[in-house]
Amino acid sequence: MDKNSLLIVGAGFGGATLARIFAENNQKVIVIDKRNHIGGNSYDYLNENNERIHKYGPHLLHGDADSKAIKFLSRFTEWTKYEHKVRALLSDMSTTSLPINRNTLEHIFKISLNSDLETKNFLDSIREKSIVPRNTDELFLSSVGEKLANIFFRPYTQKMWGIDPKELDVQIGARLPVRTNRDERYFTDNFQFLPKNGYFSLFEKMLDHKNIQVNLNTEFSKSMEKHYKHNFLCLPIDQYFDYCFGELPYRSLIFENKLMINDNLSASQVNFTDNSPYTRMTQWDLLPNCQSKNKFQHTLTYERPVDISKNPGEYYYPVQTQKSRRIFQKYEKLSKNFDHITFCGRTGLFKYIDMVPAVSIHLQKAYNFLKKIN
Ligand SMILES: Cc1cc2nc3c(=O)[nH]c(=O)nc-3n(C[C@H](O)[C@H](O)[C@H](O)COP(=O)(O)OP(=O)(O)OC[C@H]3O[C@@H](n4cnc5c(N)ncnc54)[C@H](O)[C@@H]3O)c2cc1C
């Protein structure tokens, strides 16, 4: 430790991006993480079957090919093209395409739709056009109507977030597009790739710099702060301030890996639309950068959402409600009085952030800081 170094807590995309930019700008950096690996929630590994497993659920990288974030990441990995597709398991055990698109509508309503316009008109006839959505449930009704909300969104959202969709901010549902064409890809970005040798390898290269020291199995404590020029904290902001304004709500997930001897799933990810405890299952060897291609044995990971109290320390999804937003704003305001710390990452910013935006945000944070000190 020395007063000329920067401390970064968290070796996920937020912390690793900061670390690399600082290191390349002649700053000495110490990165600590309480886990025994780098990569944060994007960490992956090869299991005994030689399948590449994303330890904290499937991570699909997507974004704008011309963005600074993707150009930055491309310095540390080669890419394998992969356009993610998701199927939803229905009550008759058939699967259908998600996000909802023309093929989904034809399957559910047993009709045939011959153009975008015909599909749009059909959607208009089933959705509740007069609603101006103020919450996620109203968003479902206004974009797809009662029947599709009941099949695809209400039970899934309830188990995912543990609260009624009526209480969820409209932004949560706004992440689910509805398409009038037959595009079955989950994302439409012009860059959809996986790191050829996995995320762990990408992180190893990103953090491999003479000015970066990584200390794993190291929990942050406030007594560390005084030893560093500045502290970047990718940790829960409410925890740092001893929950003085109350606890910020998070959803966590329990991952259950099962070795199955069966046929391939209809897609690498299949969502459960019913009231069962699971939200989705992933078949890893359907991802193109999975090492193993064993025809008969596949690891499937089932995800079961739980309250954070059932999986302590595993903060996955910030639950955005009006109440939690107000609490966060109080913490954010308080943090402005602390010149020597900057909150970062999903839990410091209390915001769900995908990987590419996480890199963009932290590139910007790094350059802002360098400008300030130079
Ligand atoms: C289940 C799930 C699926 C996802 N799928 C996708 C996807 O498909 N595509 C996509 O783009 N994004 C996805 N994401 C988002 C992606 O994981 C985030 O964008 C990325 O993790 C952001 O990185 P971060 O640095 O903010 O946080 P994290 O990756 O969570 O890293 C924070 C790190 O800080 C460490 N830490 C926290 N507190 C302390 C402490 N007190 N002391 C020491 N260390 C500490 C943690 O151990 C952790 O390693 C997904 C996220 C989850 C949870």
- Tell me the pLDDT tens digit for each residue of 285-333: 999 999 776 777 899 999 999 999 999 999 999 998 889 999 999 999 9
Give a yes or no: residue 95 inside a domain.
no
**Does 106 participate in catalysis according to the annotation?**
no
Ligand 1 centroid to residue 12 C-alpha, Å: 6
- What pLDDT does residue 74 have? 98
Mean pLDDT over residues 252-270, rounded? 93
Give a yes or no: residue 92 inside a domain.
no
Do 263 and 310 have their domain in common? yes
Contacts of 316 (CB under 8 A, 6+ apart): 41, 56, 57, 250, 251, 252, 253
- What pLDDT does residue 144 have? 95
Do 237 and 334 have their domain in common? yes
**Total domains in the fold of the chain:** 3
Ligand 1 centroid to residue 349 C-alpha, Å: 12
- What pLDDT does residue 374 have? 86
Do 116 and 167 have their domain in common? yes
Give a yes or no: residue 90 inside a domain.
no
Give a yes or no: residue 56 inside a domain.
yes
Contact by Cβ (8 Å): 58, 86: no
- What pLDDT does residue 321 have? 85
The pLDDT confidence band at residue 170, using thresholds 50, 70 and 90, is confident
Give a yes or no: residue 295 inside a domain.
yes
- What pLDDT does residue 3 have? 84
Which of 317, 336, 355 marks a domain boundary? 317
Give percent of the chain with pLDDT exceeding 70.
98
- What pLDDT does residue 207 have? 98
- Tell me the pLDDT tens digit for each residue of 265-292: 999 999 999 989 999 999 999 999 997 7
The pLDDT confidence band at residue 261, using thresholds 50, 70 and 90, is confident
Give a yes or no: residue 24 inside a domain.
yes
Ligand 1 centroid to residue 143 C-alpha, Å: 30
**Does 175 participate in catalysis according to the annotation?**
yes
Ligand 1 centroid to residue 213 C-alpha, Å: 20
Do 122 and 265 have their domain in common? no
- What pLDDT does residue 176 have? 74
Do 216 and 244 have their domain in common? yes
362 lines ligand 1 (CB under 6 A): no
> Which ligand 1 atom sits nearest the alpha carbon of residue 356?
11
Do 189 and 287 have their domain in common? yes
Does the pLDDT value for residue 344 go beyond 80?
yes
Angle at 327 between CA 326 and CA 328, to 5 degrees: 90
Do 292 and 305 have their domain in common? yes
- Tell me the pLDDT tens digit for each residue of 38-57: 999 999 999 988 999 999 99
The pLDDT confidence band at residue 17, using thresholds 50, 70 and 90, is very high
Q: SS3 sequence, the chain?
A: CCCCEEEEECCCHHHHHHHHHHHHCCCEEEEECCCCCCCHHHCEEECCCCCEEECCCCCCEEECCCCHHHHHHCCCCCEEECCCEEEEECCCCCEEEECCCHHHHHHHHCCCCCCHHHHHHHHHHHCCCCCCCCCHHHHHHHHHHHHHHHHHHHHHHHHHHCCCHHHCCHHHHCCCCCCCCCCCECCCCCEEEEECCHHHHHHHHHCCCCCEEEECCCCCCHHHHHHCCEEEECCCHHHHCCCCCCCCCEEEEEEEEEEEECCCCCCCEEEECCCCCCCEEEEHHHCCCCCCCCCCEEEEEEEEEEEHHHCCCCCCEECCCHHHHHHHHHHHHHHCCCCCEEECHHHHHCCCCCHHHHHHHHHHHHHHHHHHHC
Do 355 and 335 have their domain in common? yes
- pTM of the predicted model as reported, rounded to 2 decimal places: 0.95
Mean pLDDT over residues 366-370, rounded? 98
Do 111 and 227 have their domain in common? no
Give a yes or no: residue 269 inside a domain.
yes
The pLDDT confidence band at residue 1, using thresholds 50, 70 and 90, is low
Whose CA is closest to atom 2 on ligand 1?
57
Does the pLDDT value for residue 177 go beyond 90?
no
Task: Tell me the C-alpha distance between 1 and 231, whole Å.
Answer: 12
Instruction: Look over the chain and give the mean of its residue pLDDT values, rounded to a whole number.
Output: 95
**Does 243 participate in catalysis according to the annotation?**
no
Do 154 and 266 have their domain in common? no
- Tell me the pLDDT tens digit for each residue of 79-138: 999 999 999 999 999 999 999 999 999 999 999 999 999 999 999 999 999 999 999 999
Q: What is the CATH number of the domain that holds 355?
A: 3.40.50.720
Do 254 and 244 have their domain in common? no
**Does 263 participate in catalysis according to the annotation?**
no
**Does 134 participate in catalysis according to the annotation?**
no
- What pLDDT does residue 106 have? 98
Do 272 and 147 have their domain in common? no
60 lines ligand 1 (CB under 6 A): yes
65-79, 172-186, 224-238, 321-335: least confident range = 172-186
Query: Which domain does 70 fall in, by range?
Result: 43-85+185-196+250-317
345 lines ligand 1 (CB under 6 A): yes
Does the pLDDT value for residue 175 go beyond 80?
no
- What pLDDT does residue 318 have? 93
Contact by Cβ (8 Å): 194, 80: yes
Q: Which residues pair with 233 in a beta bridge?
A: 9, 343
Which of 317, 333, 362 marks a domain boundary? 317
